[in-house]
Structure 1
């Protein structure tokens, strides 16, 4: 079902109102014509008077008399015979009889014919042609047309009224569009609320009710970001205190004699510290104050792969020959790539990375040879602490927040991530796309971030 915008809805309402009013006027006019047609007496008398005048006019004066007798809406001409295309219309019998009686009063047995009736106006005098026989044997042709149409600057007044109505409707729609423009800006601001680091105040303009709504949304933004800030502050304080105790615990472990139990305890402490760091990063935004840079995606991926291969040597990288410049803090981009590489090597033995330019975006594709993810879990793995079964569980390590953090960072800078199982081989494919630095989407998200 199609849902129209508010401007389109109001435009349709205005248009429907105009159409209904015009139809009502037309029906009223037709009803009036039917109930009280224009009285034909004056026209019949005028025709008879012109016929008497033409009967008494000499041939050399006929042209001048016809010019004087013809006025707008009442044209007179003299022909030698009635045109073959002239057809009598039964609907004009009453008018024809009236003209016949007036003429018979001074000259009986004159031929009087009438025809060419406008079916809309019916027997209105503005729709009838007459043929009246003259004493000379010629025929006087009367064409009575457009007599009831009022004109302004030689343009029918009804046509001008229609143009005026259309102009009023266009002006009304433009005025409505102007009044609803703040509502469109408000809708856009609300839609982008989740991708901003700080609230952006929407200017209070428009009608009183709209100003009240905008003010309420601005206050809601302040409260939401205030709650997020308080949550981040609380988690930061808790993380700091917990890290203090973990540091003390680590020092005590270091002073213990070496054993497998001590090594396991140190590993657990490292995992706890990693979990705290990831939880704090996910709950807040560690990169909110980071400098946004225009960087080449190929260079950053190459650095991340080199750092990983210094320890494992299990990652291959094939870069595109085209520079892929994106606008994002370097630390944030490194975190995305490192998390995905770590995830690939955690569940697979090798990882391969390629970069490409696709649909105006810079894309990274990271593939592993692991067990993949069940199709039903592909959309769930981005949820915090979600672990698929049976292969993706805590036995493989990790905090359970890696993919959640990746998507959170990408959302903040206009990027996307798509997971899919490799159709040609075993393993998972992660495709990350970021707007190119010279594209409109990148500028849009850059402005949002700077506004914060």
Structure 2
């Protein structure tokens, strides 16, 4: 159940893992601060009580001990500015309701007739000064500007931002921004270091054994597990290439030996005196020869790119159409734009010869049409008016030695189920693709797509 709800891609799973880990860590940190923050849970002495206590201490001290007491206060509470004047300081009227309320609270904590008022700041002192008349003479001036609020704990720092702070500068917003920046860095690193090598490896594995691609081994990059997987895929590809090469050599050797036997049979058939028997033997020998020729063509479809060059596809198609038209078949080619592809002239002739040959066996007329696809593709349609192929058989018909349904069945004298297999192998060898489409009102369209090359 959990697996179905999670992301399917590795990048999404890594992202979810990182997000979960960071959220869990942040939650643990905040809970720990909240539970262990002694400062946040202990009683905070109100600032008015603090100021009143200082005034009471100074008032109670002997006159000759006041200077020493002020020095002790300066060392113990450096954030409090305390001065003693013999003359009355000038009082000031302030629009600071908080300071007014504090002066009243301080007065209520002192003796009954205590005089507490807002005074002007001493020269060089901080603003916001409370003055109190001492009973032994003089006035105590205390600046409370630096301690309007009690010290802030880590937990309250999150919940109580300073008034007037823009939202994007609040502690929660800054924490969220930092969180997403760190997550982004981790996700980018994971995507580039882990996911990207796996994606490249998957594409490389899908291309093999596409003979249109280079046979170079794939570079081993990424974490150790990805490098080991890449190494295993490279070894597997080398073994598959060896098996394909061995299979091709065996089939080629068998076909060559059988060609020799067929040649001897042809010579011996001439010695048969009965005409009917000789004719039947010659037909069987011709059939065997055609089967071997198709097998060899199928093997040659897996050749390399040694003879690749720029090929005028218009000339290839026109030549194929003319060859069949000279034999009396209705093959019409619509083209003439001289599109160029990079490939083998011989293989391209084999591709479209097989397609046209297959079409004329099941149709009265064949049409060949060429048109570009965008700026980099070329679409060639070989269309006939025959019975077509059912959709359920279109994928299997490309397999070697597979023939069509009764409407498209190839007799022993016309084919062996290798034509479309050879076509697909050669077209994919050239970096293209082939598909079968229905033609209206009836018939079949064999669509070949090849990469277009600038002439």
With normalisation by structure 2, the TM-score equals: 0.70
Match of 1:411 among 413, 416, 428: 428
**Are the aligned partners of 2:211 and 2:304 in contact in 1 as well (CA < 8 Å)?**
no
Which residue is equivalent to 1:122?
none
Which residue is equivalent to 1:357?
372
Residue 210 (1) aligns with residue 214 (2): no
Which residue is equivalent to 2:388?
372
Superimposed CA distance per residue, residues 405-431 of structure 1 (whole angstroms, 9 cap, x where no aligned partner): 11111222221111122122x221111
| Whole-angstrom CA distance in 2 between matches of 1:404 and 1:240 | 21
| Whole-angstrom CA distance in 2 between matches of 1:301 and 1:108 | 117
Specify every segment of 5 or more residues in structure 2 that has no aligned partner in the other structure, as ranges: 55-79, 115-128, 133-143
Which residue is equivalent to 1:428?
444
**Are the aligned partners of 2:403 and 2:416 in contact in 1 as well (CA < 8 Å)?**
no
Taking the TM superposition and a 5 Å limit, the aligned residue runs for 1:20-419 are 20-31=24-35, 36-37=40-41, 39-41=43-45, 43-46=47-50, 48=52, 57-59=89-91, 78-79=94-95, 103-106=107-110, 144=149, 147-148=152-153, 149=157, 166-180=180-194, 181-196=196-211, 199-254=215-270, 259=275, 261-283=277-299, 285-319=301-335, 321=337, 323-359=338-374, 360-395=376-411, 397-419=414-436
**Are the aligned partners of 1:250 and 1:269 in contact in 2 as well (CA < 8 Å)?**
yes
| Whole-angstrom CA distance in 2 between matches of 1:47 and 1:423 | 99
Larger radius of gyration between Structure 1 and Structure 2: 2
| Whole-angstrom CA distance in 1 between matches of 2:328 and 2:9 | 56
Question: Compared with structure 1, are the counterparts of its residues 364 and 3 closer, same or farther at alpha carbon in structure 2 (3 Å cutoff)?
Answer: farther
**Are the aligned partners of 2:385 and 2:443 in contact in 1 as well (CA < 8 Å)?**
yes
CA positional deviation for 1:208? 3.3
SS in 2 for 1:381: helix
CA positional deviation for 1:270? 2.7
Higher alpha-carbon deviation: 428-437 or 201-210: 201-210
| Whole-angstrom CA distance in 2 between matches of 1:158 and 1:99 | 35
**Are the aligned partners of 1:348 and 1:368 in contact in 2 as well (CA < 8 Å)?**
yes
SS in 1 for 2:219: coil
Question: Compared with structure 1, are the counterparts of its residues 103 and 375 closer, same or farther at alpha carbon in structure 2 (3 Å cutoff)?
Answer: same
Question: Compared with structure 1, are the counterparts of its residues 291 and 31 closer, same or farther at alpha carbon in structure 2 (3 Å cutoff)?
Answer: same
| Whole-angstrom CA distance in 1 between matches of 2:204 and 2:318 | 37
SS in 1 for 2:408: coil
| Whole-angstrom CA distance in 2 between matches of 1:284 and 1:193 | 18
**Are the aligned partners of 1:287 and 1:332 in contact in 2 as well (CA < 8 Å)?**
no
CA positional deviation for 1:271? 2.6
Question: Compared with structure 1, are the counterparts of its residues 378 and 353 closer, same or farther at alpha carbon in structure 2 (3 Å cutoff)?
Answer: same
Length, aligned pairs only: 382
Residue 12 (1) aligns with residue 16 (2): yes
Question: Compared with structure 1, are the counterparts of its residues 146 and 241 closer, same or farther at alpha carbon in structure 2 (3 Å cutoff)?
Answer: farther
**Are the aligned partners of 1:353 and 1:367 in contact in 2 as well (CA < 8 Å)?**
yes
With normalisation by structure 1, the TM-score equals: 0.71
**Are the aligned partners of 2:354 and 2:420 in contact in 1 as well (CA < 8 Å)?**
yes
CA positional deviation for 1:201? 1.0
Superimposed CA distance per residue, residues 312-345 of structure 1 (whole angstroms, 9 cap, x where no aligned partner): 2410011164x43222211111111001000010
| Whole-angstrom CA distance in 2 between matches of 1:100 and 1:376 | 95
**Are the aligned partners of 2:363 and 2:386 in contact in 1 as well (CA < 8 Å)?**
yes
**Are the aligned partners of 2:302 and 2:426 in contact in 1 as well (CA < 8 Å)?**
no
| Whole-angstrom CA distance in 2 between matches of 1:371 and 1:15 | 59
**Are the aligned partners of 1:339 and 1:406 in contact in 2 as well (CA < 8 Å)?**
yes
Higher alpha-carbon deviation: 43-52 or 312-321: 43-52
CA positional deviation for 1:438? 5.3
| Whole-angstrom CA distance in 2 between matches of 1:156 and 1:375 | 64
| Whole-angstrom CA distance in 2 between matches of 1:262 and 1:47 | 131
CA positional deviation for 1:388? 2.8
SS in 1 for 2:407: coil
